[in-house]
């Protein structure tokens, strides 16, 4: 009987912890929605013209990476943000340097560690999703860091009564992205908590 009670108590603590973490992240999104949506919108605009992904490789933003995608080749570069070679590389690939550096500065302010565009197909049609990951101080621990990852969709999505992202309308199948269950923020955005930033 004691073991049974311990299992119930342990399960309750885990569920409460998951629930409070989801509430914390939902609150975080609401408090920072304007800047997160602005980062997403600017990224989409630039990506549409010249595809790229951006990552931060360390906690202090001393090393960043950019993946530049051309018609035939994928270029991956690593930089110290304080050095001129980042701006020089952006200029060489004909990006708007000021626009890109402002985007990166806003990402740094929000502790964004990864932004990319994911392509997927739905009912035979190509769809696009912006995938943005942030280092979340309040959710991490000394042993394991947590990342708050947001998926922004172009079209409204479907969710079950627990707010989990579904594969399609009238489906009970949970759609996972990179093996993670995502929870509703609104009809076009959802989030997960992950131990990895990408």
What pLDDT was estimated at residue 66? Answer: 93
Total structural domains within the chain: 1
Residues spanned by the domain of 93 = 2-194
For the cut 80, the answer to whether the pLDDT of residue 74 exceeds it is yes
Look up the pTM and report it: 0.81
Per-residue model confidence as pLDDT tens digits over 79-110 = 887 778 889 999 999 999 999 999 998 998 88
What is the residue whose two structure tokens read 């998951």? 18
Per-residue model confidence as pLDDT tens digits over 146-165 = 788 999 998 899 999 999 99
What pLDDT was estimated at residue 135? Answer: 82
Structure confidence at residue 197 as a pLDDT band (50, 70, 90): low
Of residues 122, 111, 107, the one with CA closest to residue 53: 107
Q: E strand or H helix at 21, and its extent?
A: helix 2-49
């Amino acid at each position: 009987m004691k073991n049974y009670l311990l299992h119930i108590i342990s399960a309750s603590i885990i569920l409460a912890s998951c629930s409070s973490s989801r509430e914390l992240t939902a609150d975080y999104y609401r408090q920072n929605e304007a800047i997160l949506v602005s980062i997403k919108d600017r990224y989409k605009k630039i990506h549409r013209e010249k595809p790229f992904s951006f990552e931060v490789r360390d906690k202090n933003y001393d090393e960043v990476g950019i993946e530049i995608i051309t018609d035939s080749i994928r270029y991956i570069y690593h930089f110290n943000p304080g050095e001129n070679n980042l701006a020089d590389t952006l200029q060489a690939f004909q990006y708007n340097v000021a626009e890109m550096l402002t985007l990166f500065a806003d990402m740094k302010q929000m502790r964004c560690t990864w932004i990319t565009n994911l392509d997927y197909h739905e009912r035979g049609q190509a769809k696009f999703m912006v995938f943005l990951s942030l280092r979340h101080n309040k959710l991490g621990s000394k042993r394991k860091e947590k990342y708050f990852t947001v998926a922004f969709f172009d079209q409204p999505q479907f969710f079950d009564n627990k707010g989990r992202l579904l594969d399609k309308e009238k489906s009970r199948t949970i759609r996972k992205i990179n093996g993670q269950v995502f929870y509703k923020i609104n009809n076009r955005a959802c989030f997960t908590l992950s131990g990895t930033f990408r």
